């Protein structure tokens, strides 16, 4: 088995947007007299679609606002922050070039909807780096369901066993594993036990570049032994 494509998650992998997501949620809920923390966001909504996020908060605090209205409010605040404050994660451009130079196809599979993808790609100038872009907005279910990853593989015309996914959340890892794809976890908290489901765990994309060839060699040896 050879890796023929790399599928990136977006938030927390390509762009340091998790704090921006949290701020957008905190500010939106504050408008309705509800105070939430960054920890609340991380525990309850990280890796979710924005429609799911809005529903979670509406149900948790019995908000009278329509979920669509809260969703639009969060998106507006988020996209403004991305366009003015968004920064690429360490090693993003190097990793994209590294995998492209190996002849691998590059795809995106994110829980974020298209307006957020566009904001990120505009801010970081990433549009020409991806041959396939997939949003869970277009799927019946978001992560941890595998649908967005399966769609990416289908559009790439590559088998799931030949895809490598790079994620930063347990929700995203679960989706990729359910799609039967090889997974890398990239997070400063990579040593947390819950992330052990990943095939490789790294602090950042620079570490991925440094260790990928070694991982692939071990993968080939494992396949040969079986």
Domains of the chain: residue spans and CATH? 5-16+88-225 (3.40.50.1000), 18-85 (1.10.150.240)
CA-to-CA dists, residue 5 to 19, 101, 108, 127, angstroms = 29, 12, 11, 17
Rounded to a whole number, what is the distance in angstroms from the first to the last CA of the chain? 12
Rounded (10°) angle between helices 67-85 and 114-124: 10
pTM confidence score: 0.90
Q: What is the pLDDT of residues 155-176, one digit of tens each?
A: 999 999 999 999 999 999 999 9
Q: What is the pLDDT of residues 43-85, one digit of tens each?
A: 999 889 999 999 999 999 999 999 999 999 999 999 999 999 9
> Among this protein's residues, is 9 annotated catalytic?
yes
Q: What is the pLDDT of residue 225?
A: 57
> Among this protein's residues, is 11 annotated catalytic?
yes
> Please, what is the Cα angle at 195 between 192 and 198, to 5 degrees?
145
Q: What is the pLDDT of residues 199-217, one digit of tens each?
A: 999 999 999 999 999 998 8
Q: What is the pLDDT of residues 90-141, one digit of tens each?
A: 999 999 999 999 999 999 999 999 999 999 999 999 999 999 999 999 999 9
Check 9, 51, 147, 204 and give the catalytic one. Answer: 9
Q: What is the pLDDT of residues 83-94, one digit of tens each?
A: 999 999 999 999
**CA 51, CA 221: separation in Å to the nearest integer?**
43
Pick the closest to residue 209 from 193, 191, 186 (CA basis): 186
């Amino acid at each position: 088995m050879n890796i023929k494509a790399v599928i990136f998650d977006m938030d927390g992998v390509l762009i340091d947007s998790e704090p921006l997501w949290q701020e957008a949620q905190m500010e939106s809920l504050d408008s309705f007299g509800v105070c939430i923390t960054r920890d609340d966001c991380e525990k309850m909504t990280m890796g979710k679609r924005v429609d799911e996020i809005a529903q979670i908060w509406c149900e948790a605090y019995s908000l009278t606002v329509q979920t669509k209205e809260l969703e639009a409010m969060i998106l507006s605040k988020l996209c403004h922050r991305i366009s003015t404050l968004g920064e690429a994660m360490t090693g993003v451009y190097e990793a994209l070039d590294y995998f492209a130079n190996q002849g691998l196809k590059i795809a995106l599979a994110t829980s974020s909807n298209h307006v957020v993808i566009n904001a990120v790609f505009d801010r970081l100038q990433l549009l020409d780096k991806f041959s396939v872009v997939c949003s869970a907005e277009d799927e019946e279910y978001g992560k941890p369901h595998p649908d967005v990853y399966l769609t990416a593989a289908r559009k790439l015309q590559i088998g799931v066993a030949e895809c490598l996914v790079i994620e930063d959340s347990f929700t995203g890892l679960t989706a990729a594993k359910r799609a039967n794809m090889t997974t890398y976890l990239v997070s400063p908290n990579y040593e947390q036990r819950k992330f052990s489901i990943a095939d490789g765990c790294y602090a950042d994309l620079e570490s991925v570049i440094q260790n990928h060839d070694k991982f692939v060699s071990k993968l080939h040896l494992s396949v040969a032994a079986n």
